Amino acid sequence: MTDKSDNALLSLIGKRVPVLDRGFVELQDLMPHPATGVSGDLAIVSAARTSFLGEGKGDEKDRKLLNYLMRNKHTSPFEMVEFKFRLKAPLVTWWQLVRHRMASLNMQSGRYVEFEDDEYYVPAVWRKQSQSNKQASDGVIDPSDDEVLTKELVAHYERCYKLYQDALSKGVAKEMARLFLPGFAVYYTGVWKIDAHNLMRTMQLRIANEAQEEIRVYASAMYEHFFKPALPWTAEAFEKYVLSKPEA
């Protein structure tokens, strides 16, 4: 693999991918940065050899070593690559992302920033409760009920936002007025930084079929639009030795 920066990798920085109805995933930074001329895959194999960045032994040997690392779960070299994302997601998604505690996180604060009236997640469809899994959904409800529920949800958001605005107009502090807002549905924007090893662990769990749809779409966007283009050899080994294997 060439270790020269190219336009394709540079174009990932600042790229934004829409997710859900109002959310997005944006890559703010990548280490090693494409401008250094060192690919992420090469940074991983170089770290495994404890040599200087950019010092590879040719594509065939480097790729073979990377596959060896993934296959045998030698994870620390994968921590040498980092992704810094800016995400806009409903709280129901953040609620699950924060469980991955090896990431660094900084989020918008409702104490300082006033929420907008369109900052709520409205699902495209309403899913049924799974009969075999207490925490999962399975299938969708009747379309006629779907439309009614969506109208009721939007009306609920509008009423809650009016109560929020009324509280602000009475001089209530933003940190208290936000109690009127529907918690799980509010969109928050935050910066989420994570190394490649822990990002793979996140994606392994959150792309899985049993994961909640609202987290799956974010994990899939991070993987398909950013992880795979930035680390093609790593992604290939990840799919071969991790994603294709059920957890023990």
Does residue 117 sit within a domain? no
Tell whether the torsion through CA atoms of 130, 136, 142 and 144 is positive or negative: positive
Can you tell me whether residue 85 is helix, strand or coil?
A: strand
pLDDT higher than 60, residue 5? no
Same domain, 93 and 212: yes
Positions marked catalytic: 206
Give the separation between CA 192 and CA 105, rounded to whole angstroms: 5
pLDDT one-digit tens code per residue, 106-164: 999 988 999 998 899 999 999 999 888 878 888 889 988 999 999 999 999 999 999 99
54-69: per-residue pLDDT in tens? 567 888 999 999 999 9
Q: Are residues 16 and 97 in the same domain?
A: yes
Do 74 and 49 sit in the same domain of this protein?
Answer: yes
Length of the chain: 248
- 237 lies in which domain range? 7-107+187-243
Q: Based on the fold, state whether residues 22 and 80 are members of the same structural domain.
A: yes
Q: What's the confidence (pLDDT) of residue 247?
A: 59
Q: Which of 185, 207, 224 is the last residue of a domain?
A: 185
Closest CA to 86 of 99, 102, 97, 100: 97
Does residue 151 lie within any of the structural domains? yes
Provide the pLDDT for residue 165. 96
97 and 13 share a domain? yes
In this structure, the answer to whether residues 169 and 132 fall within a common structural domain is: yes
d(CA 215, CA 223): 12
pLDDT for the residue numbered 51: 57
pTM of the full structure? 0.90
Residue 14 located in a structural domain:
yes
Q: What confidence score (pLDDT) does residue 55 get?
A: 65
For residue 118, tell me if it sits in a domain.
no
Digit-coded pLDDT (tens) for 33-43: 999 888 999 99
CB 14 within 8 A of CB 86: no
pLDDT at 203: 95
For residue 202, give both structure tokens. 């996140």
Q: What local confidence, expressed as pLDDT, does residue 67 receive?
A: 96
| Number of structural domains in the chain | 2
Give the Å distances, CA to CA, from 49 to 76, 196, 243. Answer: 12, 18, 26
Which of these, 202, 199, 228, lies nearest to 41 by C-alpha position? 228
The one-letter amino acid code at 173 reads A
In a domain, 94, yes or no: yes
Query: Average pLDDT in the 177-182 region?
Result: 94
**Does 114 reside within a domain?**
no
83 within domain boundaries: yes
